Amino acid sequence: LFQAKPTILDLVEETVDVALSEYICRCLSGGQIRVLSLRQCRISDDSLAFVLTNLAYSKVATLNLTLGTIDSSRKIKQLTKYLPKSHVTNLSLHGSPLTSRHLQHLLPSLLALPTLASLDLGDCNLTDDCAAALSRHLLSSSTSGMSTSLACLALSGNADISSSDWCRIFLAIGLLPSLRDLRLDFTRLGDEGVRQLAILLAGGTCGLRCLDLDSCGITDDGAA
């Protein structure tokens, strides 16, 4: 079932066929929708492309494509193509199975968005290869003079990333002065990872104000 409010369009467990995708686009063209959510929805590649194309003519600021809605390489390529034409500031792909190849396509476009303030990649089954791709693109965006406004990064629930690869991510995050909120809950960060995080926090260049470390396998030593 979906709920439509003046500024929110929220679809849950829907099959987004041609008729429904046309309805979504009519809502977007009205200029009232600020939040578009497709949660655990079944949507074809063509229907997703149709919706994303119309984002450019809307005022949507928050886009949630979560819980398996993004489930193919072609959908990732569509995000890469159409998101830079939108006004999205908050993007959630939470619960989407992403590979390192997906991130290689997606991250350069996302991090180049001057308006992107929040990115949620939680529970995306990210592996060490994905962590390497993420850290590489974060470093690239910070050292190439590319301006990024990313203030919130959620990596919650990615339990397949090892503590050593978390360290690589922290090195890159240390070069993002705009980042204020980092969510690492329900990961295997552990004591070694949190030691590297402590070095980042003590470095003086990190502007973090909110840090979520719930259920990260941190012992008393790591906490100290």
Query: How far, in whole angstroms, is CA 148 from its chain's centroid?
Result: 14
Q: State the Cα–Cα distance between residues 156 and 205, nearest whole angstrom.
A: 23
All structural domains of the chain, each given as residue ranges with its CATH number in brackets, are 8-222 (3.80.10.10)
Q: Report how far apart, in Å, the C-alpha atoms of 180 and of each of 12, 26, 109 are.
A: 30, 35, 21
Q: Report how far apart, in Å, the C-alpha atoms of 139 and of each of 41, 105, 132, 185 are.
A: 33, 16, 11, 23
Q: Does an H or E element contain 3, and which?
A: strand 2-4
Q: Does an H or E element contain 38, and which?
A: strand 35-39
pLDDT value for 7:
93
DSSP code of 83? G
Do the Cβ atoms of 173 and 179 come closer than 8 Å? yes
Residue 120 confidence (pLDDT) above 60: yes
Residues facing 91 on adjacent strands: 63, 119
Backbone angles phi, psi at 183, to 5 degrees: -115, 115
Per-residue pLDDT reduced to its tens digit, 181-224: 999 999 999 999 999 999 988 886 778 999 999 999 999 999 99
Per-residue pLDDT reduced to its tens digit, 8-40: 999 999 999 999 999 999 999 989 999 999 999
| Straight-line distance from the first to the last Cα atom of the chain, in angstroms, rounded to the nearest whole number | 47
Cα dihedral 143, 149, 152, 153 sign: negative
Per-residue pLDDT reduced to its tens digit, 125-151: 999 999 999 999 998 887 766 667 899
